[in-house]
Every structure is written in structure tokens, then in C-alpha cells.
Amino acid sequence: DPEGEIFLLQLLAEQQMTAVERFAAKHSSAEHQPSGRSLSGKYRELLPAEEPRPGWQYAFEVDLDACSGCKACVVACHTLNGLDDDESWRRVGWIQDTSRASAAYVTASCHHCVDPGCLNGCPVLAYEKDCHTGIVHHLDDQCIGCQYCTMTCPYEVPQYNPRLGVVRKCDMCRQRIDGGEAPACVAACPNEAIKIRLVEQQSVVRAARGPGEEKHLVAGAPPSSVTCPTTTYTSVGGAPAFSFAPRCTEAGRKHAHLPLAGMLTLSQWSVGTTVAAWGLAWWGNTETTLGDGAFATGWTPAAKCLSLAWCVMVIAMLVGALHLGRPLRAWKVFLGWRTSWLSREAIAFAVYLHLLTCALGLAVLDIYGFFHGEWMLHGGGWSDGHGWLGAAVGGAMIVGLMAVVCSVAIYAATHRPAWKFIGTATCFAIASAMLASAGIAVAMVGSPVGLGAAWAALSLVFLRVACPYIHLRVSASTSRKRLERLFVLRSLRLARHVGWSHRAVSRIALICSAIVLVGVQFFAIAGPEAHSASGVHSVPGATAGGILALLMLLACEWAVRADYFATSVHATMPQSHR
């Protein structure tokens, strides 16, 4: 049938045309143009007809009065991008006005910020902000799955995909915009509540970071000054009129990031032990040896602390790799050193480990008499810090402390109320000193120095248990911002709930392990065995008991550190149960 063939060819040709081409073909003739009214405005309502000028970019505009919460935008985004069942790039929540019993639905995805936190925090440069359109898009092949961008983005836009081992996010359907079509969410909305607009980047920055009251996209959202989001929410009564977002303030347990918690705990233990090794050498305890003979004869406590620090740091590197979705690409972590504290931390720890390896190698060569001379002192006697050995240990100590400062800055840069710099630095310092003291106590079982280190570890344990609660309480009482104080109090409430329910065992075991460590020292000193010439008592099993107490202390600190991530409550976009 010739007519059927022609109709089929027309359908095939229409399928290959974009929305703009179909519009032009349909309305090019006069008979299809309604008299006295142009339809071009209808099509320009959802997508700008012109491209962004320099200094301008595309941005979402959401009409709160038009959004019905049907989640058609969520379904369209999920289907077009082929997302997994538990993955969502667009979410719908709700806010309400407590003064006039009204509510509005809020649909949100990536805000394509002018100063995006995900881009600044990424250690491998897996994010790019298009200089022409302003769209922030993610490079899946560059990502290593460190998930740091999920913390630096205050709106929790990037979503980690465990199946692929990478993070993914909304890119405003760049392929559709390049073809003249609106993004999937915009095209699917039955009420035309979502539109694409052009905004001037400098105007967005001035509005977000200008003088006056702190700006928020909607009620309960993070401060706009952090990343300068470009999305705008409009309403007849004004978006700020909605004053309450229930799901923004609900405290729920977060992901604990166990490998990351282990890496932080072990690396800080290593740095603290290196500082202890330097202190022991400087204090002049290099002639004191272990009574139980856990290491080779001639190894001083300072050298043993040095070897322990090296072993712990190597394990920390291996444990940290387990946190990555693509650990074989971890070598790229230094690429973002200009903006990412995670890159700076990785570089600092790499330099620290190299210096520590050099120091340990020189110590081993010196202990076993391979080298003698003025450039490296005899018999491990590097207590005065002279020579290559002292320089290597001192350098490793300084770089290690710098790496710990970078670790603190990683979480302070997220602007979460519970992760402020001072409180985080205090907790990290106490944990490092606590584990280092426990390590010295094990390395010097039966000596007065070992007993003093055990008492110091016990005291630090009590500070470590109380530190998070004290920090949150002080932050809540000193915060000038009502919303920030609310989230700190929520974190405090969740920390109390976690600390005294299923996590109570870790706190109690942390204290008990330190008490056992002190008991081992007393047992070693007061034991019936003979007193050695070096002033160190040798009790069979004392070192084994100290090691067990140390391992229990480490496991408990690991669990407590996991709570640091699990109990953080912060502002986010309004959400609903998904």
C-alpha cells in the first residue's frame, strides 16, 4: 500500500527529529499558526531559547505552588539515566508554614553551584564545571569511589553506587540540552513546575554571600554561602514564608564508613607513636630494653616504637584502600592537591611513610652495627637529634603531624556543625596520644616509664569517651545560629542514644582495656620474679597481656571513631520517605 509506506516513513522521520525540529516543522506554515497568538513562548517557558552568555549559566527554577509531589520527575530521571533500584538523582520532600497551616512539595537534584563543594573536595578531579553552560558533571572513568564528595556537598547530591564503585550525580541531561530538548525531569513534570533558566553567576554569589541574614534555598536547607547554589524556588507567598521542614531536622544513623574510621585510627596511632619514639630518644631512655624480649636484643624502646609506627602505618594504608570503590586507581589521589584536603592528606601521609621507612632503616643498620661514624651516632644513641637518623625521625614526626592536621581539615571543610575544626582536632589528638601511650606501656612492660604510660592511657581514655559529648555541648551553647544549634543538639541526642545502647559495649570496653593495661604494669612490677639490672621486671605473659589489652583498646577506638561518622546530623534539603 503506497499510502501506508508513506505514513510509515513519516513516522520514522518524526522519531529522529528533536523537539525544536518538530516545533519548526509543525508551525512553519500559516495554517498551523493560531491567529493572534504565538506558540513560541510556550516552548521557551521550559528551556531558554538562547545559549548562556559569558558569566551566565543554566539553572533549575522550581515553582513550589505548581509542584504536586507526584514524583514524575523522579521516575523520568531514574528511567532515562538507567539508575539502579536504590539510586535516585532527584528527590521530593515537603515543607510547611507553621503560621498558616500550608505545605508545599520541594523537588531537588543537583543545584550546579557556582562554587561546588563536590568539585573542590574531589581528590582526583572527577568533577568538571562546564565553562559555557555552568553544568557540573561527573567523570565516571576518573572517579576512585572515595565518597568524599558525598560529605563536601551540603545537599548530599552525589550518590555512591557500590555496584560500579563510583559516585554519580545529575548532569542536567546535558545530551538533551545539547540537542535542544529539556531535561527529563523538566519534560516529565505534568504541571510544568520545573524549568531551566539562565542566571548570572556573580549575582548568585552576591545573593548567597552578601551582607545581611544568611540565605537558604528553602526552610531547613544548608546555608547558600557554602557553595552558592543556582536553583531558585518561587512561590506566590515567597519561598522563605515556609518556615519548617520536618525531614531536614530528623536525626537518623548515617553510614559508619568502617574502613575510613580504621584508617584514621591507625594513621593517628602511628603518628603518635612516632612522636613518642622521638620523645623517648630525647629523654634519654635509649638504653632501656624490654624485659620479655619481644624484639631482638639491643632494640631500644625508641627503636621499637619506631618499628611499631611503621607497621601500623602500612596497615593503615591497606585498610584505607578498602574504603575506595576502585582501589587500583588510588594513585591518582594527589591530582586535586590545589583544592582538596584529601589529596593533601594523602600526599602528607605518603611522605611521612617514606621518611619513617628511612628512619627505621637507618635505625636497624645502626643497631646491628652496619654503620658507625659522626653522621649517625653509635648504638641507637640518637637522643640528641643529631645525625641523619635524628633528622629522619624528626622529619617524619613533623610531616606526620601535618598529615593529622590535614585529616582534621578534611572534615572541618564540610561545614557540618558536629565536625568543627577545634572539636575534631581535640578528639583526634586525644585518640593519637591515648594509643601512643598504650603502645609505650606495652613496649616497656614492667618499667616505671611503662607504668606512667599506662596511667596516661587510662586518663586519656576517660577524656576520649567524654570528648564528643563535651564538644557537642559546647558547640550547642556557643552557636549563634539557631538552626546550627538545632543540628548540634540533634547530633548530641543521637550520640547519647548510640553511646548508651548498642555502642555502650565499646565505651565500657575502652575503659576496661586501659584498666587491664595498668593492671598488667602493676603485676609486672610487683611480680615475684627477679629484678633485672636495667630496672625492668620480667614477668612471663606480661607482654602478651599488654598486647591483648592494646588490641582491645584499638578495636574500641575504631568503633568509637565509626560513631563520629554515624552520629553526624546536619542540614540538608527537605526529604520524604523514599
343-397 per-position pLDDT tens digit: 999 999 999 999 999 988 888 877 776 655 444 433 344 444 446 777 888 899 9
**What is the rounded distance in angstroms from the CA atom of residue 155 to the CA atom of residue 491?**
18
Judged against a pLDDT cut of 60, whether residue 248 lies above it is answered with: no
Q: Could you tell me if 397 and 279 lie in one domain?
A: yes
Residues 313 and 339 reside in one and the same domain = yes
User: pLDDT tens for residues 25-68?
Assistant: 665 554 455 544 454 455 557 888 788 999 999 999 999 889 99
Check residue 464 and give its pLDDT: 81
CATH number at residue 64: 3.30.70.20
Q: Closest by alpha carbon to 59, among 120, 155, 130?
A: 130
Tell whether 532 is covered by a domain. yes
Average pLDDT, the chain: 79
Contact 440, 301 (CB under 8 A): yes
Same domain, 188 and 281: no
State whether 529 and 415 are in the same domain.
Answer: yes
Q: Which residue, chain included where needed, has cell 539502579?
A: 84
User: pTM (2 decimals)?
Assistant: 0.81
238's CB contacts (< 8 A; 6+ apart) are none
What would the pLDDT profile of 313-323 be if each residue is shown by its tens digit?
999 999 999 99
Considering only CA atoms, which of 339, 362, 357, 498 is closest in space to residue 418?
Answer: 498
128 and 75 within one domain: yes
Pick the last residue of a domain from 220, 248, 276: 248
Domain that holds residue 369: 258-566
Last residue of a domain, one of 225, 248, 271: 248
Q: Is the pLDDT of residue 538 over 70?
A: no
Q: Is residue 37 included in any domain, yes or no?
A: no
| pLDDT digits 0-9 by tens, 396-407 | 999 999 999 999
Over the stretch 82-122, which tens digit does the pLDDT of each residue have? 999 889 999 998 887 666 667 788 999 999 999 999 999 99
| DSSP label at residue 34 | P
Q: In this predicted structure, what is the pLDDT of residue 576?
A: 58
Asked if 219 and 286 sit in the same domain, the reply is no
- Residue 355 inside a domain? The answer is yes
Q: How confident is the model at residue 203 (pLDDT cuts 50, 70, 90)?
A: very high
> Do 172 and 283 reside in the same domain of the chain?
no
182 with 301, same domain: the answer is no
> 534 and 413 share a domain?
yes
For 387-396, write each residue's pLDDT tens digit: 677 788 889 9
Same domain, yes or no: 162 and 285: no
For the chain, what percent of residues have pLDDT higher than 90? 41
Tracing cell 612471663 back to the chain, one arrives at: 540
DSSP-assigned states of every residue in 45-105: TTS-SSPPPTTEEEEEEEETTT-----HHHHHHHHHTT--TT--S-EEEEEEETTTTEEEE
- Where b means 16+ CB within 10 Å and e means fewer, 441-469 reads bbbbbbbebbbebbbbbbebbebbbebbe
We report the CATH number of the domain holding residue 503 as 1.20.1630.10
